[in-house]
Amino acid sequence: MERNIYLKSTDLEEVEKIYFNCFENIERKIERIKVIDSLNRITSEPIFAKVSSPHYNASAMDGIVVRAKDTYEADETNPVRLTYEKDFLYIDTGDVIPEEFDSVIMIEEVVKIDDKTVEIFKAAYPWQDVRPVGEDIAVLEMIIPAHVNIRPVDIGAMLAGGVVEVDVIKKLRIGIIPTGTEIVDPGKELKPGDIIESNSRVIESLVIERGLIPNRYDIVEDDFGMLKAAVRKATDENDVVIINAGSSAGSEDYTSKVVDHFGKVYFHGINIRPGKPAVLGVIDNKPVIGVPGFPVSAYLIYELIVDKLFDRYYHTQSKERVVKAQLSRRVMSSIKSEEFVRVKLGKVNNTLIASPLNRGAGVTMSLVRADGVLRIPKSIEGIDGGTEVEVILMSPRANIDETIVSIGSHDIVLDIITNILNNKYNGLYFSSSHQGSFAGVMAMKKGIAHIAPVHLLDEKTGVYNVPVIEKYLGKGKYSLVKGLNRIQGFYVGKGNPKNITGIEDLIREDIIFVNRQKGSGTRVLLDYLLKNNNIDREKIAGYPREMNTHMTVAAAVLSGSADVAMGIQSVAKAMGLDFIPIGVEEYDFIVENEFLENEKMVKFIEVITSETFKEETEKLSGYSLDDVGKIIRI
Amino acid sequence: MERNIYLKSTDLEEVEKIYFNCFENIERKIERIKVIDSLNRITSEPIFAKVSSPHYNASAMDGIVVRAKDTYEADETNPVRLTYEKDFLYIDTGDVIPEEFDSVIMIEEVVKIDDKTVEIFKAAYPWQDVRPVGEDIAVLEMIIPAHVNIRPVDIGAMLAGGVVEVDVIKKLRIGIIPTGTEIVDPGKELKPGDIIESNSRVIESLVIERGLIPNRYDIVEDDFGMLKAAVRKATDENDVVIINAGSSAGSEDYTSKVVDHFGKVYFHGINIRPGKPAVLGVIDNKPVIGVPGFPVSAYLIYELIVDKLFDRYYHTQSKERVVKAQLSRRVMSSIKSEEFVRVKLGKVNNTLIASPLNRGAGVTMSLVRADGVLRIPKSIEGIDGGTEVEVILMSPRANIDETIVSIGSHDIVLDIITNILNNKYNGLYFSSSHQGSFAGVMAMKKGIAHIAPVHLLDEKTGVYNVPVIEKYLGKGKYSLVKGLNRIQGFYVGKGNPKNITGIEDLIREDIIFVNRQKGSGTRVLLDYLLKNNNIDREKIAGYPREMNTHMTVAAAVLSGSADVAMGIQSVAKAMGLDFIPIGVEEYDFIVENEFLENEKMVKFIEVITSETFKEETEKLSGYSLDDVGKIIRI
């Protein structure tokens, strides 16, 4: 056995060139199956028709069948009379053209004289309205080529062409080994440090979607001997083996060592982000891939490497569907790696807008929210906002055209709106990106959102929303659709253990605060209150630690990493925290005037003014809907 | 029970408005399943996270964990020393941040002094490189809304959010009843008039692809009583029933009568082509749909009506993916019906070209060959060639960009080329449209094909291809890639029963000929020979009967509907016909000079000059490859 070629961080292109050929000399196993069971299987040979369709000359009409030459004299003034059985027979669509006849006249053009006689007023040409043998499929014609995926219509054509069995390439069996001492099966009680094992289930599902056979093993601890045994077994039992995690270069990362032990490591490390610490090897002529542990990295390595290997095996090519979109804001990129940035797509003012999502490799929700992936080549430092880019679609859930794009402040009522919209109007989606109120204002200005939920206090007047919108968006172009009044306050632990009563407690030495990000309405309110109360923000421990939603700051208080945070009452109730009210704020929606007339917006307003919405928000705490749906032109 | 509303030929829009509401008041059955088994199921409720992810404050790096305030003095000239266990601990990615610490410094920035001491040169800020609780998923955050299809990444996010079971809408069970006295199961011996039953298998496969449960019954004869019994049983056992054929208004078309008997017929006849004679009814609150018998009509009614009904039930919306393309030629359309024309797509000179396919409702192969459907509204007489149109994609098999578009003359070697290309270069496709040599020349002129296989005799000089190309395409822009010499001649029955020896036999009274279409190279050759031999084409019985390929005329001779036809030798051999040679012709490929350098064309030439291609063509008869691959600039 040759020694490892241990290469650190090879470019993806190089990896494709070398590693993707590992299937080159493998014999593909073929099996013969029934055509009726062949949906989504891959042909191993071209399929040729065994019979013609139709396999006889067939009438294409209901009517009479005649000899064309008997009708040549007929015209509108000189009808020709034909006698039953001697000159014509009645015939239905699909019936056989009898030997002695050669032409069909449709029944609408036949005048019945008596039981035995008809008249016609137009000459028929030979083979008129006859479907000749092989009109649809000629015997020996190729129906589908080798190495294609069999679709429902292909099954129909094969059957119609007399083909009842078909040779297909056998399904590959994919072994999936989850590893890691810290990972636990879903549903188990969680201790701090435990990580729920979900990657193997994502990979299993991707393998099923691809039409292959997943074979998932139990979790293997980070132990060289145990991993060795597991990989040996999996390599014996499957055609391809995927080991999830343990692919880094750390002390407990045994994947590459095990592959090296039994076979050959081609690459360890790929120049992509996320997904860098992948292991690509071969054991007994079978690909063995070590996939990184972070969910986004695992997904990308599957899509970029594993799925493409399957393409090589089956001689197929994945359909990468690419759309052109305008980038909503500048994206920075490493010049050392090729980067894959998840984006959300939305159509605003007839332009497809791609908004980059959270790029952390651990952020599973960025995969859930993404509509596509933007690929940024190495040696590019970034792409400017407004640039036209190509986005690879990720099996889009919704018709992107039918999505209301919302960018702005977060509130859990947005989830309620999403669900009512979706329930009431099939296929109308609401996509909300929680970047804070001020980002919402900017998104409206750039024309990359349909709607912006905001709660922005004007520090001078103490008035919500209208003054800020006027300042940044001017007058005449936008309206404010009134939403909800909601109560803002402090989140504290159950029973208020540190006895926090007001804003002045934030500077206490024993208090750790957690803040919301700049530009969020809650941050604006906090800074307004600090200023009015002459409190020095420098004295607040944790003031620089920023989080992006009410829920994440509440989670920080719940976990004890902070003693207090600021947010809306409904979240405190939902998460079981105590709440100290500070004041009421107005959470409204900015809309372009033109969009007010749009069917999507009409439906949105229907939803927020509906009884259902009222009932659902009443179940939460801290909302009132006095002016909901009222439109204020700005 | 209310009496039938029997409407003839209602517009599709009206049908959607009324019939699609039949699910409106039906209770959707819900079942709770494991998240790991939920791939491609439809959620019935929004799914909220039960735990945060991470559910503890976790290190985002390998390094040391510290108290940020202990590091504030550190800079490059004044390192800070930290003592193990007192001031810092070692920590790995994913480990829990211990209570007394709040910040992580990556290992690369730590200098080890001794076993107990490290030095750092930069201040750490609080919560540096810590993944806070809920960074990915916050408890109670909505992971996915109600009524969406669960994808692999959604399964990952649900598991990571502590969700192990999920409520989904039960799968609908779809009864499929094939009917017709003339239809027979695939694989049975065929008598004239028999039609192979394939539609129910296409529908079954479409139902499987949609993720529902198909329940196919045995073929039912055209008999009112038998159909009644079958429909009663199917309606009792399923949620939706599809009856295939018998949906017309003919004497043996019982579908609408049976639906009327047990329930209510909403519509009989839709203003679309193909697909007009559909029956839309309801029995016991269950949709019962009579689908027409012609394969293309059956497919369209499934896609336009049945699949959309499923969307209504599940509150989802099918992803209709629409592309813009340029129509290759004028398409006529009925002003009385909305028309659905299957088209083949190809990218030539950066323009997506849509070429209309055979429009017969019986032509299964048009479904196999189609990449999309062009929808032509009612009251439009047609669309001009060159017009930009919108095409609805039909689950495209190939990456359309990776397809060589060929329009021109047919030869079975094109199938060989397709298969070698596909075998050798994954995902490079060859799409050939057989419209005859002259159509190929015109396609090159219009820029809607990459390549045109032609065999066109110049009647003046007797020279193949070059003179005709010069005449129609001019000099300087195109080249001819030499293909094969092939033997043309007459197809006659086995043993030559009518004793045909040469072209003069065509005018014999006892001989019926079948012709190729105008513009085909074979037709040009025939007309040239007739002229040179002073034979009057008017005297040839069957001269006006035109067919589009060698195979279809051969099939006509094989079936006895003609005594003789003209075509290439290889087809005669393949179909077991006798062959009378007439002469050798040159079958070459026209290419634009610019395209000669294109990677696709380079591969094409590699294929036709390969050993494999030579071997495969030798297995056929009547080919020689003397100059294959030679390029002649014109």
Closest CA to A8 of A276, A244, A274, A245: A276
pLDDT in tens, A364-415: 888 988 889 999 998 898 999 889 999 988 865 556 778 899 999 988 899 8
Nearest CA-CA distance, residue A308 and chain B, Å: 11
CA distance A274 to chain B (A): 14
Which one of A131, A154, A184 terminates a domain? Answer: A131
Give the residue from A131, A156, A183 where a domain finishes.
A131
Inter-chain touch A136–B204, beta carbons under 8 Å: no
Instruction: Note whether A152 contacts B551, CB cutoff 8 Å.
Output: no
Q: What is the mean pLDDT of residues A304-308?
A: 93
Is B137 in contact with A365 (Cβ distance < 8 A)?
A: yes
**B581 and B612 part of one domain:** yes
Q: What is the CATH number of the domain that holds B21?
A: 3.40.980.10
Is residue A370 located within the same domain as residue A485?
no
- State if pTM tops 0.90: no
B320: chain A residues, CB-CB within 8 Å: 399
Chain A contacts of B196, Cβ < 8 Å? 51, 53, 159-160, 162
Q: Are residues B586 and B625 in the same domain?
A: yes
Q: State the DSSP string of A440-491.
A: HHHHHHHT--SEEEE--B-TTT--BSHHHHHHHH-SSSEEEEEEEEEEEEEE
- A-chain residues within 8 Å CB-CB of B182? 94
B251, two tokens: 């004497």
Which domain CATH number covers A110? 2.170.190.11
Are B513 and B591 members of one domain?
Answer: yes
Domain match, A584 and A511 both: yes
Sort out which chain B residues have CB atoms less than 8 A from A559's CB and list them.
52, 55-57, 132-133
Which phi and psi angles does A202 have, rounded to 5°?
A: -65, -45
Which tens digits make up the pLDDT trace of A415-468? 899 888 888 887 788 888 888 899 999 999 998 899 999 999 998 898 999 999
Is B422 a domain residue? no
Q: Say yes or no to pLDDT of A139 above 60.
A: yes
A140 part of a folded domain: yes
Strands B286-291 and B240-244: parallel
ipTM of the complex: 0.88
Nearest to B511 by CA among B562, B545, B552, B560: B562
- Asked, for residue B439, whether it belongs to a domain, the answer is no
Residues A38-76: pLDDT tens digits?
999 999 999 999 999 999 989 988 899 999 889 989 998
Tens of pLDDT, residues B253-302 = 799 999 999 999 999 999 998 988 899 999 999 999 999 988 999 999 99
Name residues of chain B where pLDDT drops below 50.
Answer: 1-7
CATH of the domain at B42: 3.90.105.10
- Residue B438 belongs to a domain: no
Residue of B nearest to A216 (CA): B36
Contact assignment for A364 to B182 by CB distance below 8 Å: no
Shortest distance, CA B147 to any CA of chain A (angstroms): 7
Output the pLDDT for position A6: 40
A556–B157: do the CB atoms touch at under 8 Å? no
For A227, the 3-state DSSP assignment is: helix
Partner-chain contact A92 B551, CB within 8 Å: no
Q: What is the CATH number of the domain that holds A480?
A: 3.40.190.290
Q: Is residue A407 part of a domain?
A: no
Q: Is A112 part of any domain?
A: yes
Chain A partners of B202 at a C-beta cutoff of 8 Å? 152-153, 155-156
Q: Is residue A162 part of a domain?
A: yes
Tell me which residue range forms the domain holding A385.
322-397
Per-residue pLDDT band for A245 (boundaries 50, 70, 90) equals confident
Give the per-residue pLDDT at B315: 84
Angstrom CA distances, A55 to A30, A144, A314, B191, stand at: 30, 19, 33, 9
Q: Are B121 and B93 in the same domain?
A: yes
Residue A513 shares a structural domain with residue A545: yes
Task: Report the residue of A364, A392, A423, A550 to disrupt the B interface, i.e. the one with the largest count of B CBs within 10 Å.
Answer: A364
Closest of A205, A208, A201 to residue A183, by C-alpha? A201
Residue-level pLDDT at A206:
96
Nearest-neighbour CA in chain A from B365: distance (Å): 6
Q: Spell out the residues 6+ positions from residue A390 whose beta carbon is closer than 8 angstroms to its own.
A: A322, A323, A324, A325, A374, A375
Q: B414 CA to chain A: closest CA distance, Å?
A: 10
For A518-555, write each residue's pLDDT tens digit. Answer: 888 899 999 999 999 999 999 999 898 888 888 889 98
Same domain, B71 and B192: no
pLDDT of A247 over the 80 cut: no
A99 has pLDDT over 80: yes
- As a whole number, the mean pLDDT across chain A is 90
What is the Rg, in whole angstroms, of the alpha carbon atoms belonging to chain B?
A: 34
Phi, psi torsion values for B632, nearest 5 degrees: -110, 115
Q: How far is B475 from chain A (nearest CA, A)?
A: 36
A343 plus A258 within the same structural domain: no
**Closest by CA position to A542, among listed B104, B139, B97, B69:** B69
Same-domain check for residues B220 and B304: yes
Q: Is A40 exposed, middle or buried (0-12, 13-18, 19+ CB in 10 A)?
A: middle
Domain assignment of residue A412, yes or no: no
Same domain, A108 and A162: no
- Closest residue, chain B, to A24 (C-alpha): B424
Which residue spans within B304-428 are E strands per DSSP?
322-327, 331-332, 338-348, 351-356, 372-376, 382-383, 388-393, 403-408
* Domain's final residue, options A263, A279, A314: A314
Give the pLDDT of residue B155.
Answer: 97
Q: What is the mean pLDDT of residues A213-236?
A: 96
Residue A338's CATH number: 2.40.340.10
Q: What is the predicted pLDDT for the residue at A340?
A: 93
| Tokens 């007929």 sit on residue | A74
Q: Which residue is it, tokens 């043996």?
A: B252
The number of domains in chain B is 5
Closest approach of chain B CAs to the CA of A492, in angstroms?
A: 16
Same domain, residue pair A146 and A186: no
Residues on chain B touching A542 (C-beta within 8 angstroms): 126
Which chain A residues touch B141 with a CB distance below 8 Å? 365, 551
B194 to chain A: which residues are within 8 Å by CB?
Answer: 55
